[in-house]
Structure 1
């Protein structure tokens, strides 16, 4: 029983940050029709920025609780700086072009940002320890878990609900959904599609950055951290269905629980477990578990 609880807790913790990152990836694809290879780099930028902001707050001898605010501000800063530079200065010139070309462009962005992070932060790992001990421990049965893990699960739920509410219950969200359905029709009705693209891309970067920022206390922030994240994130959105927000949630849960089960029962199959689940889903549902709504062709 204790092992089952441990598998569930570890799986939910892993799925929580993965859902936040994958949510940004699937949102960008749904709106801009871009399979963003550089999404993992935005996650890494969020983690590095959080390490810098939290370290600065500690050097200023601010209260440890401020480290949570510092991580949030780090994600906001990454989105505010990187989104205009990448969407306005680069991606906007490739909209409507061949999908393979867009993949190559985002792959080039990924390579550039990998080098940028090394130039700015160096090759040595960073550790963000302050936030991890703020929430104490949680006792379940005979096992003790770090309270921060449950905070991360709560953050994922809050982010998912906020994005859903923003898309389905606000005027701006309805405009975004209209662009997702048909950018041409939305433009003919007076919608500034370029502005919607910028908004969606900024939110996508923010979600990747906040995923990295709030995962930083749980990992060693070092070069190469973006590679594993983008691979697993793609597995999530492929399982759930590209462009589907519910699919991102279900896909993250499936991947998180599959990985946790493998780690506790057969550690050598950790990565294999994710890919075998993805292969099984694609065998029966090539479009993913939740197919994104397509515009009806006439």
Structure 2
């Protein structure tokens, strides 16, 4: 029973930050129809920016609990700087062209950002574990759980619910949905499609950077972060269905639980468990769990 609870909690914790990252990826695909390979790089930049800002706060004797605000601020800063430069300065030139070309463009940006992060932050790892320890531990059913992990689960849930509410219950969300279904028709009705694209891309970059910033206290932030994250994020959105928020949530849970079960039951299986699960699901649902072939939605 204790092993089951441990697997469940570890799986949900892993799925939480992964869902935040995948949420940005599926949002960008749903609105802009772009498979953004550079999404993993935005995650890495968010992790570095969050670790740097938290490290500075700790150096001036600020309480570690305040660093949570710094992590959000780092994600906002990364989105505000990188998203307009990327979408307006690069991607906009390739809209309406072959989707493979856009994949290659984002892959090129991924390679550039890998080297830029090394130039800015070097190759030595960053540690901000004080933040991870600042929220204490919770004791439930005889098990101890880190408070930061519980907080992370709540934040991921809040991000998902807020995004769903904005897209489905607000006027701006209805406009985004109209652009998703037909950008040409939306533009003919007076919608500023270019502005919607920029805002959607900014939200996508924000979620990627937020996922990186929130995981910075849990890991050593070092070169190579972006590679593993983008692979697993694509596994999540492929399992759930490209462009589906519900699919991203379910996909993240499946991936998180599969990884946690492998780690606790048979550790060598961690290397391939996610991909085995993805292959099995795609055998029966090639379009993903929530993807409709007829229309792309989020």
TM-score (norm 2): 0.97
Residue by residue over 1:181-216, the C-alpha shift from the partner in whole angstroms, topping out at 9 and shown as x without a partner, is 111111111111100000000000000000000011
Pairwise CA distance, 1:63: 2.6
How far apart in 2 are the matches of 1:289 and 1:227? 25
Q: Secondary structure at the match of 1:72?
A: helix
Once the two structures are superposed, the pairs formed by residues 225-264 of structure 1 within 5 Å of their partners are 225-264=225-264
Q: Secondary structure at the match of 1:130?
A: helix
**Which residue of the partner structure matches residue 182 of structure 1?**
182
- Name the stretch that deviates more: 107-116 or 176-185: 176-185
How far apart in 2 are the matches of 1:180 and 1:294? 13
**Which residue of the partner structure matches residue 125 of structure 1?**
125
How far apart in 1 are the matches of 2:42 and 2:268? 29
- Name the stretch that deviates more: 40-49 or 56-65: 56-65
Contact 2:287 2:293 (8 Å CA) reproduced: no
Residue by residue over 1:95-138, the C-alpha shift from the partner in whole angstroms, topping out at 9 and shown as x without a partner, is 11101100000000000000000000000000112211121111
**Which residue of the partner structure matches residue 136 of structure 1?**
136
**Which residue of the partner structure matches residue 211 of structure 1?**
211
- Name the stretch that deviates more: 176-185 or 135-144: 135-144
Once the two structures are superposed, the pairs formed by residues 98-177 of structure 1 within 5 Å of their partners are 98-177=98-177
Residue by residue over 1:229-258, the C-alpha shift from the partner in whole angstroms, topping out at 9 and shown as x without a partner, is 000000000000000000000000000001
Pairwise CA distance, 1:295: 4.6
How far apart in 2 are the matches of 1:273 and 1:169? 37
Pairwise CA distance, 1:139: 1.3
How far apart in 2 are the matches of 1:126 and 1:72? 18
Residue by residue over 1:253-273, the C-alpha shift from the partner in whole angstroms, topping out at 9 and shown as x without a partner, is 000001100111111111311
Pairwise CA distance, 1:171: 1.1
Contact 1:243 1:292 (8 Å CA) reproduced: no
Tell me, yes or no, if structure 1 residue 61 matches structure 2 residue 28. no
- Name the stretch that deviates more: 69-78 or 131-140: 131-140
Q: Measured at CA, do residues 295 and 186 of structure 1 come closer, stay the same or move farther in structure 2, by a change above 3 Å?
A: farther
TM-score (norm 1): 0.97
**Which residue of the partner structure matches residue 28 of structure 2?**
28
5+ unaligned residues in a row in structure 1: which ranges?
A: none
**Which residue of the partner structure matches residue 287 of structure 1?**
287
How far apart in 2 are the matches of 1:143 and 1:236? 29
Pairwise CA distance, 1:292: 4.5
Contact 1:239 1:289 (8 Å CA) reproduced: yes
Pairwise CA distance, 1:161: 0.5
Contact 1:242 1:292 (8 Å CA) reproduced: no
Count of aligned residue pairs for this structure pair: 296
How far apart in 2 are the matches of 1:55 and 1:236? 31
How far apart in 1 are the matches of 2:209 and 2:294? 29
Q: Secondary structure at the match of 2:76?
A: helix
**Which residue of the partner structure matches residue 46 of structure 1?**
46
Pairwise CA distance, 1:61: 2.0
- Name the stretch that deviates more: 229-238 or 269-278: 269-278
Q: Secondary structure at the match of 1:43?
A: helix
C-alpha RMSD over aligned residues: 1.1
